[in-house]
Structure 1
Amino acid sequence: MYFPIRAITLDLDDTLWPFAPIGARVEQVLHDWLLQHCPRTAQRFPIEAMRALREAVYTERPDLSHDFSQLRRLSLVRAMELSGDDPLLHAEAAFETFYAERNRVEFYPDALPALERLAARVQLAAISNGNADLARIGVHHHFAFQLGAREHGTPKPAASIFHAACTQLAMSPADVLHVGDDIDMDVLGAHRAGLRSCWLNREGHAWPHDSIRPDLEFTTLGALADWLDAADPANHLHSNVQPDTAAA
Structure 2
Amino acid sequence: MTKPSSVRALTLDLDETLWPIAPVIERAEAALHVWLAQNAPATAARFDVAALRELRDTVALEFPDRAHDFTWARKVSIERALVAAGDDAAWAEPAFEHFFEWRHRVTLFPDALPALTRLAARFPLLALTNGNAELHRMGLAHFFVGRLSARDHGRGKPHADFFQAGCERLGVSPGQALHVGDDAALDIEGAHAAGQPSAWIVRPHHGMPPAPLHAKPVFVGADLLQLADWLGA
Q: Report the TM-score range of the alignment, normalised by the length of the smaller protein.
A: over 0.9
**Hey, what does 1:239 align to over in structure 2?**
none
Select which of 217, 224, 227 maps to 1:221.
224
Alignment of 1:26-175 (within 5 A): 26-88=28-90, 90-175=91-176
Query: For the pair shown, which has the larger CA radius of gyration, 1 or 2?
Result: 1
* Offset of residue 63 of structure 1: 1.5
Name 2:7's counterpart in structure 1: 5
Q: 1:63 to 1:210 in 2, by over 3 A?
A: closer
Mapped contact 2:184–2:213 kept (Cα < 8 A): no
Compared CA separation, residues 210 and 179, structure 1 to 2 (3 A)? closer
Aligned equivalent of 2:194? 193
Report the Cα offset of residue 205 of structure 1: 3.6
Q: What SS does structure 2 have at the residue aligned with 1:63?
A: coil
For residue 209 of structure 1, report the CA deviation from its aligned partner: 2.2
Residue 212 of structure 1: how far off its partner (Å)? 2.7
2:179 counterpart of 1:178:
yes
Q: Which amino acid aligns with 2:135?
A: L
Asked whether the equivalents of residues 181 and 199 of structure 2 are also in contact (C-alpha less than 8 Å), the reply is yes
Q: Secondary structure at the match of 1:104?
A: coil
How far did 1:206 drift? 4.3
How far apart are the structure 1 equivalents of 2:141 and 2:159?
A: 24
1:101–1:108 Cα change, 3 Å = same
Contiguous gaps of at least 5 residues in structure 1: 231-248
Give the superposition deviation at 1:47.
0.9
How far, CA to CA, are the matches of 1:210 and 1:85 in structure 2?
48
Q: Secondary structure at the match of 2:122?
A: coil
Scaled by the length of structure 2, what TM-score is found?
A: 0.95
Matched position secondary structure for 2:107? coil
Gaps of 5+ in 2: none
**RMSD of equivalent CA atoms:** 1.4
TM-score by length of 1: 0.89
Contact 2:36/2:44, CA 8 A, preserved across alignment = yes
Q: Secondary structure at the match of 1:93?
A: helix
Please state whether the residue corresponding to 2:32 is helix, strand or coil: helix
Corresponding letter in the other structure for 1:79: A
Asked if 1:209 is matched to 2:222, the reply is no
After superposition, the C-alpha distances for 1:98-117 in whole angstroms (9 at most, x for unaligned) are 00000111000000110000
Runs of 4+ displaced beyond 6 Å = none
**Shift in Å at residue 54 of structure 1?**
1.5
